Structure 1
Amino acid sequence: MENILVAGANGTTGKKIIHLLKNSQYFNPVAMVRKEDQIKQFENMGVQTILGDLEKEVSHATKGIDKVIFAAGSGGKNVVGVDQEGAKRLIDASKVDGISKFVMLSSMGADHPEKADDLQEYLKAKHNADEYLKTSGLTYAIVRPGSLTDDKGTGAIDLQEKLHRNGSISRDDVAQTLVRSLHDDAPHHTTFEILEGSTPIGKALNNVS
């Protein structure tokens, strides 16, 4: 079993990731949370937790960890401090501790934030974090979904390096894609976009070059 640190475990998508990892035969989730009062819910599930604030030093968070999913976000409150610099801090810690794969939850539009009508500051922060990861030397996958919905997941997506259209995707299917991206036979050193679609997630990932 590999230990998977989930940054942003207390978020809506983060909790879905934790549940998937908890039920996996391959992975053991470690929930990274920012506040003491967020620990109990994960402990009640039998999930290990670690306190870590992405706006501060996080080098302790990657000790004993094999792989990382970065699903944290500031919700627009501090996109530079959390979504950008927080990601960089965790990437740096991952390099020191020899993390074997770093899976980044990004966003469609992060490749060209200057073209966005809104959320430019957020997309620029995501862009900078993605670029930092690409040049880090870590094995990585950068997953860029469209607009997130709370619809029930279908287990099927549309996945391309660049989809050239807008759309949405359920948090369920995003979480599934992130977890599947952890596997050693999943694509690495790659960036791709996902929307709701008709191709089973595993097959879609297999088709990535």
Structure 2
Amino acid sequence: MIENTILIAGASRGVGQEIAQQLRQEGKAVVALLRSPSASPDLNTIGVKVAQGDAFNPSDLAQIFQQNPSISVVISTLGGVSPDGRRVDDEGNINLIDVAVQAGVQHFLLVSSIGTSESSVALPPQVLETLKGALIAKAKAEQHLINSGLTYTIIRPGGLKSEPATHQAILSEDYRISGLICRADVASLVCSCVGDESRLNKVFSAIDPTLEMRR
């Protein structure tokens, strides 16, 4: 029996790297999509296979799936702006979603952000204006995934903190909530959705009720 493999896009740092670490601790087979090889040694050390490619280039992505035919789950934490002003939040994720459709991926998990689409009601106007470009791009990726026909889970974290996990974070289908959450806890919530049929084709907000939102 071929072991199912999980592809993580955005594993070079932050939440993506935390997800890779936690999945490896669970004994899962993980491939990390990296645009730059700089994070490769850290990932190789924990047993993650590194596949170099650019999410802006669909042919790079298609080649990764061809070389790793056991990929059945994709997790994307892609975000940011390229030097020429292109947003990987939408363009990169849309490319990845399209290639995942062609590859017959069973489950696509997208890490987005509170403030996208209907969850814009959860954030103050000044915050929405500051994050406007990223939130619009993330909303495009969310909608593309929902319309793709893939089985999906969308997780929208609140404000991210780089502190140890509290293990008190929650997923909620209430799009009106907002709050803070540690990156390690986001990773744990994402990992908990892999293989959980009760969380398929749903959109969640992710916050930690024990952390106070700092205004």
Could you tell me the TM-score, scaled by structure 1's length?
A: 0.86
In the alignment, what sits opposite 2:185? 173
Given the alignment of the two structures, is residue 118 of structure 1 paired with residue 120 of structure 2, yes or no?
Answer: no
In the alignment, what sits opposite 2:88? 82
More displaced stretch, 42-51 vs 5-14: 42-51
Given the alignment of the two structures, is residue 141 of structure 1 paired with residue 153 of structure 2, yes or no?
Answer: yes
Q: Quick check: 1:16–1:175 contact (8 Å CA) kept in 2?
A: yes
Deviation at 1:79, TM superposition (A): 7.2
Given the alignment of the two structures, is residue 160 of structure 1 paired with residue 172 of structure 2, yes or no?
Answer: yes
Q: Quick check: 2:81–2:87 contact (8 Å CA) kept in 1?
A: no
- Counterpart Cα distance in 2 of 1:46 and 1:37: 16
- Counterpart Cα distance in 2 of 1:196 and 1:78: 35
As a proportion of its length, which structure holds more helix?
A: 2
In the alignment, what sits opposite 1:61? 64
Given the alignment of the two structures, is residue 98 of structure 1 paired with residue 104 of structure 2, yes or no?
Answer: yes
- Counterpart Cα distance in 2 of 1:39 and 1:78: 25
Identity value in percent? 29
Change (3 A) 1:184 1:166: closer
- Counterpart Cα distance in 1 of 2:20 and 2:165: 16
- Counterpart Cα distance in 1 of 2:39 and 2:163: 25
In the alignment, what sits opposite 1:15? 17
Question: Which letter maps to 1:148?
Answer: L
In the alignment, what sits opposite 2:36? 35
Could you tell me the TM-score, scaled by structure 2's length?
A: 0.84
Change (3 A) 1:187 1:35: same
Deviation at 1:186, TM superposition (A): 4.1
Question: Which letter maps to 2:12?
Answer: N
Which runs of 5 or more structure 1 residues have no equivalent in the other structure?
199-209
- Counterpart Cα distance in 1 of 2:85 and 2:91: 8
Q: Deviations over 1:19-78 (max 9, x none)?
A: 1011114x2111111113332322232221101111212222233211000012126867
Question: Which letter maps to 2:23?
Answer: L
Change (3 A) 1:4 1:154: same
In the alignment, what sits opposite 2:213? none
Q: Deviations over 1:177-204 (max 9, x none)?
A: 1111111434111101011037xxxxxx
Q: SS at the partner of 2:199?
A: coil
* Number of positions where the alignment pairs a residue of Structure 1 with one of Structure 2: 197
Q: Quick check: 1:6–1:69 contact (8 Å CA) kept in 2?
A: yes
In the alignment, what sits opposite 2:4? 2
RMSD: 2.1
Q: SS at the partner of 2:154?
A: strand
Question: Which letter maps to 2:161?
Answer: T
